[in-house]
Structure 1
Amino acid sequence: MAEDVDQESKTEAATERRIREALDKGDIPFSREAPVFASILGLLIGLGLFARGQAAQLARELAPFFDQPRGFALENAGDAARLLQATATAAGRFLLPFLLLLAACGLSASILQNVPRFVAERIRPKWRNVSPASGWSRLFGRSGQVEFLKSVLKVLGVSLVVLLLLRSEREKAVNAMFVDPSQLPELILTISIRLVSAVSIATIVIVAGDLVWARLRWQRSLRMSHQDIRDEHKQVEGDPTVKARLRSLAQDRSRNRMLAAVPRATVVIANPTHFAVALRYEPSENPAPLVLAKGQDLIALRIREIAEENGIAVIEDKPLARSLYDAVQVDQTIPAEFYRAVAQILFFLFARPR
């Protein structure tokens, strides 16, 4: 019951990350009916392309067994083994093209559904695969009921198609008793091709429905709740609380580093209490004044305090302090539009008697 409630809470479509993780674990949508249909289709192709030639070859190889049955010695086990080996070889040559075609069609149907990939997770031993409780759940759960329904539909559909076809071919089957025996292989081949064709047509609907059902069931199994999405977002983006703490620590380190550079300043331009910008001008270091620190409110007051403690001039210029604060970042030289205003302040400082 708790599992059903938990499943009902998962109403959101799977995210890209959830889908990617499922594919990496080998959890992919797969229709078991598609390879079966492909094998039936391969059998139909084989009957149309190879059956006549292979049947003629088989008849030639087995003709001596029927024409001269006494020509083979069966006096000991070795003779019987050789006879069985010859028969099995002839039957193997007859069946080999069909088996290869069936395998190729079945494999192609699996590959076309999903790109092949090696997933160690799929072959790792798991207790739930041998657990009676898990097996009971698979047999009598929703998936088991769907598989049972598909099997019933396949049996009923194929049986109905075969019955209708055999009824239509009943007259030919009865007349076959009065025709030349050499015509029987061709008659059997024709009926077989029609029978396999009818079965293929009957299973197309089941296969199409199973492909859609497999995809829908897979998407439903990956659905997420709102909490799952939030947890995934935290894993990808990081916990907001932790991120805020790290951001605060980084800001503290940057602020301390900036304040430690204030004693190297040439002048501090301030807007009495709200803004303060510490500039350093050494022609040998930079062609223009460099912003060592800037701050607002409490940081601005701290910059002024450090400047006064170290004997650095603090010039109050409200428009210039505010403009520099907005336009320039720490460790950057001032833009050209501030050259004239800052040059006047520096000229005043350098010209005054010390």
Structure 2
Amino acid sequence: MNFPNKKGSIINGFSINIQLFADPDKTEKATPRKRQKAREEGQVPISREFTSGLSFLAISFVFLLLGKGLLSSILNGTHEVFEIGERDLGAFEDFWIYLSQSFRDTFIYMSFIIFGAALFALIVGLIQTRFLFTLKPLKLDLSRLNPITGLKRMFSLRSLFELAKAIFKLVIVGVVGYSVVRGRFNDVLLTVNSNLIDGTLILWDVFSELIIKCAIALLVISVADYYYSRYEYEKNIMMTKHEVKEEFKEIEGNPEVKRRQRQIMMQYAMHRMMQEVPKASVVITNPTHFACALRYDPERDFAPILVAKGVDRVAQRIIEVAREYEIPIVRNPKLAREIYYSTELGEPIPERLYKAVAEVLAYVYSLRETRERL
């Protein structure tokens, strides 16, 4: 298995700093941002055992498909080599020419097998990492050259775990191999009285059964290792509550700063709203808890527009500004509440309030005309 360290470096299948047991303070699951940062650093859950197990199984099937052809090419090439006479070799270089020609088919078969195994291993690795391409794990890390760190790593619990896993794999392969050879032992004895080709085919059948069963056994181990590697990766990237809190502050911003920003925005909005009060035609009040300032200009407004509203202290401030600029103030508790809850700033009043507001405006205009006559 590969366990990337905090810098994303992977060394000999295990990392430098990761311990077998997770930090007890890390009780929170990794956040999406933490996972993304870990991925950018090259930290991804990947199991070499899973890659090698699938690759070995794939190679085994390729051997089953191409094995007899490969075996036949080896036998034919060997036969051709032994038939080379002295008269065919003018110089030592000629021997290599005959050798390459005799085993040409063998080289082709081996090339297919090697290239297919490498390609399959690459695809499996890319699927595990979700096609991650990064050079950060290759950066020079001087801590790798520290002999003390190397000794700690050599005798760490992780090294013991890897050693135990290797021994377990060896035992499993040994048991599977022994069972296959024991079951086919009589077939192997037949090769003593068989010719070269027949004996080779018998051994090939035994070898094919051996590698297939070993590949299946290793695949089972590799699947378990794959899920364990993902489990341990999740443990290693877990976060403390403090880290989660700090990350939330980075993403959402410091709560105190955001609260201050909201206060400034509210103050700015309040200032702008108070600037609109002198333009109002009337202020309708509760009389103290609610205040709504309406503007109505017949030439540009098809209905009265709400330019300011507020409750309690804000309402008192609207009333003060209205008195300062001699804006008519009308007490109508029910209408004030209706306007406050049904209308947003800068919007016209609802149609159902036209009549009530029209009566208020008519009253205001009549007072204004009376005042002008006096």
- The TM-score, its normalising length taken from structure 1, stands at 0.89
- 5 Å-filtered alignment, 1:56-205, equals 56-73=72-89, 75-76=91-92, 78-83=93-98, 85-86=100-101, 89=104, 91-205=106-220
Bigger drift between 270-279 and 85-94 goes to: 85-94
Superposed, 1:301-312 pairs within 5 Å as: 301-312=316-327
Q: Name which of 251, 254, 266 aligns with 2:281.
A: 266
Q: Superposition pairs for residues 250-265 of structure 1, below 5 Å? A: 250-265=265-280
CA distance in 1, matches of 2:138, 2:301: 66
* Residue number in structure 2 paired with 1:7: 23
* Alignment correspondent of 1:219: 234
Q: Give the drift of 1:275.
A: 2.1
Q: Conserved in 1, the CA contact under 8 Å of 2:305 and 2:346?
A: yes
Question: CA deviation digits over 1:117-146, x for unaligned, max 9?
Answer: 222433433344554455445443343332
Equivalent position of 1:294 in the other structure: 309
Which digits, 9 at most, give the CA deviation of each residue in 1:88-115, with x for residues without a partner?
6454224122212322332343244342
In structure 2, what is the Cα distance between the partners aligned to 1:323 and 1:90?
A: 93
1:227-266 superposed matches below 5 A = 227-266=242-281
Map Cα deviations across residues 222-260 of structure 1 (whole Å, 9 max, x no partner): 112222222222222222111111111110000001011
SS in 1 for 2:226: helix
Picking from 331, 338, 346, the partner of 2:361 is: 346
Counterpart residue type for residue 255 of structure 2? P
Change (3 A) 1:6 1:240: farther
Aligned position for 2:4: none
Structure 1: 5+ residue stretches without partners: none
Residues in 2 aligned to 1:188 and 1:43: alpha-carbon distance in whole angstroms: 18
1:22 paired residue number: 38
One-letter identity of the residue aligned with 2:314: I
- 2:201 maps to amino acid: E
Checking the alignment, whether the CA contact within 8 Å between 2:50 and 2:219 is kept in structure 1 is no
Cα–Cα, structure 1 residues 53 and 85, in superposed 2: closer, same or farther, change >3 Å? closer
Partner Cα distance (1:252, 1:137) in 2: 61
Q: Is residue 304–residue 314 contact of structure 1 (8 Å, CA) maintained in 2?
A: yes
Q: Indicate which of 223, 226, 230 corresponds to 1:208.
A: 223
C-alpha distance in 2, partners of 1:328/1:50?
A: 81
Question: For 2:62, which of 34, 46, 51 is the aligned residue?
Answer: 46
| 3-state DSSP of counterpart to 1:332 | coil
Moved over 6 A (4+): 3-6
Instruction: Name the CA distance, whole Å, in 1 between partners of 2:41 and 2:315.
Output: 56
Superposed CA RMSD in Å reads 2.6
Question: Whole-Å Cα distance in 2 between the matches of residues 172 and 74 of structure 1?
Answer: 45
Q: Secondary structure at the match of 1:253?
A: helix
d(CA) in 2 for partners of 1:85, 1:272? 107
What is the TM-score with the length of structure 2 in the denominator? 0.84
Change (3 A) 1:284 1:326: same
CA distance in 2, matches of 1:330, 1:25: 50
How far residue 83 of structure 1 moved from its aligned partner, in angstroms, is 4.7
What is the identity, as a one-letter code, of the residue corresponding to 1:154?
K
Aligned-residue offset at 1:10: 0.7
* Structure 2 residue 360 is the aligned partner of structure 1 residue 319: no
Unmatched tracts of structure 2, length 5 or more: 1-17
Deviation digits for residues 33-89 of structure 1 (CA, Å, limit 9, x no counterpart): 12222232123212211111232234334432112343442645x335535544664
Does structure 1 retain, via aligned residues, the 8 Å contact 2:81–2:102?
no
Structure 1 residues 286 and 62: alpha-carbon distance in aligned structure 2, compared to 1, 3 A threshold? same
Q: Are the equivalent residues in 1 in contact too, given 2:74–2:103 (CA < 8 A)?
A: no
SS at structure 2 position matched to 1:232:
helix
Kindly provide the amino acid, as one letter, of the partner of residue 349 in structure 2: I
AA aligned opposite 1:266 = S
Contact 2:55 2:120 in 1 (8 A): yes
Q: 2:345 aligns with which of 302, 310, 330?
A: 330
Q: Quick one: distance in 2 between partners of 1:16 and 1:171?
A: 60
Count of aligned positions? 351
Between 56-65 and 335-344, report the one with greater CA deviation.
Answer: 56-65
